[in-house]
Amino acid sequence: MIYIHIPFCRQKCSYCNFHFSTSLNFKDEMISAMKTEIRLRKDELQNKNLKSLYFGGGTPSILSADEISSMIDEVLKYFSFDRDIEVTLEANPDDLDKNFLQQLAKSPVNRLSIGTQSFFDEDLRLMNRAHNASEAEGSIKRAQDFGFENLSIDLIYGSPTSNLEIWKENLNKTIALEVPHISSYALTVEPKTALENWIAKGKIASPREEEQNREFYYLSDFLKDNGFEHYEVSNFAKPGFYSRHNSSYWKYKEYLGIGPSAHSYNGFDVRSWNVANNQQYIKKLDGGFLAKEEEILSQNDQFNEMIMIGLRTIWGVDIESLNSKFSEQTLEHFRREIQSKIEEGILITENNHLKIPEKHWFMADGIASDLFIV
């Protein structure tokens, strides 16, 4: 599978610390550089038949439908598409007007991931989103009108401007709109963001973990009651609508990341990442050089990643895979560390897979980190 990072946004959200630029001055040069990277790295993926192509960012919908199609055409020069490939475009509601959707519907894009975040204007103002609540709802309906049935939306809970009643209304709206996939995250205060600065200056309250915990479990119970499957800590889907792309990440499949700051993984022991600087990225690729660094993952790194990723999903960690992959010393550590947590009910084994019971999923990352080899 291939991930393409589009490093442009119209404005900076208050909570975001991803790599992007709000200047489009070098958009054409960036697209050209990414096409060059695709060509130079075409042999890094063993499987040339793609099951997933994902445009993330940034804001990929800031590109025109023709620019998106030209990127897809470049990929098709070197790879084939599986018969039922999933081609996802992350999009902001304010970009999804009728003209854009009409053009996009003619392209291979067959899944939209819409950055809704909330259906309440007060939440959206705090987040400094470029859209309002009306556009959030309207963009979903328009996408459906143009034949995009495979839709995902992002929702953020635990905001200082929200509460459990508002969160319930957000979820009721989502169900009414018949969206089949939801990715939902607690509002997190990242370093060097406007949100961190506002909290430090006392302009807004800090998110409260106990409130986020309550809203997370309401989210999970509510969506399951409405036919969704909670298949990863932050992801919910109607049957048949799991994100194939993200599921491949969680199952340790190989992937190729294109664009500044994008990461790649060979499925075994090599992870690489591109420079998180647009100008350096363009300059390197213009000269015919890759703008990436890489590392060989140690046995401990591989073990920690398998634990962290697996315990966030309904599939859990395959104990047989651990037994075949790691040394007896590592396995002794694993067995010793899980024993007390199994006795406490924080971990369970099921069909030779280690899992966290869903009632403890809000603390999944902390539980997993307790098992790490450091």
**Is 146 a member of any domain?**
yes
Helices assigned H by DSSP within the chain = 27-40, 65-76, 98-104, 121-127, 133-145, 164-176, 194-200, 209-225, 244-250, 278-286, 299-310, 319-325, 328-344, 364-369
Give the Å distances, CA to CA, from 355 to 104, 109, 320: 40, 34, 14
pLDDT, tens only, 168-210: 999 999 999 999 999 999 999 999 899 999 999 999 899 999 9
Q: For position 20, what pLDDT does the model report? A: 75
**Is 293 a member of any domain?**
no
Q: For position 23, what pLDDT does the model report? A: 83
Which residues constitute the domain of residue 57?
2-250
Q: What is the pTM of this model?
A: 0.94
Angle, to 10 degrees, between the axis of helix 328-344 and the axis of helix 299-310? 30
Q: For position 24, what pLDDT does the model report? A: 86
**Is 181 a member of any domain?**
yes
Interatomic CA distance for residues 93 and 111, integer angstroms: 14
Tell me, what amino acid is at 153?
I
Both 229 and 335 in a single domain? no
**Is 278 a member of any domain?**
no
> Which ranges of the chain have pLDDT less than 70?
none
The total number of structural domains in the chain stands at: 2
**Is 270 a member of any domain?**
no
Residue at a domain's end among 250, 273, 290: 250
Torsion angle of alpha carbons 125, 128, 134, 137, nearest 10°?
-120
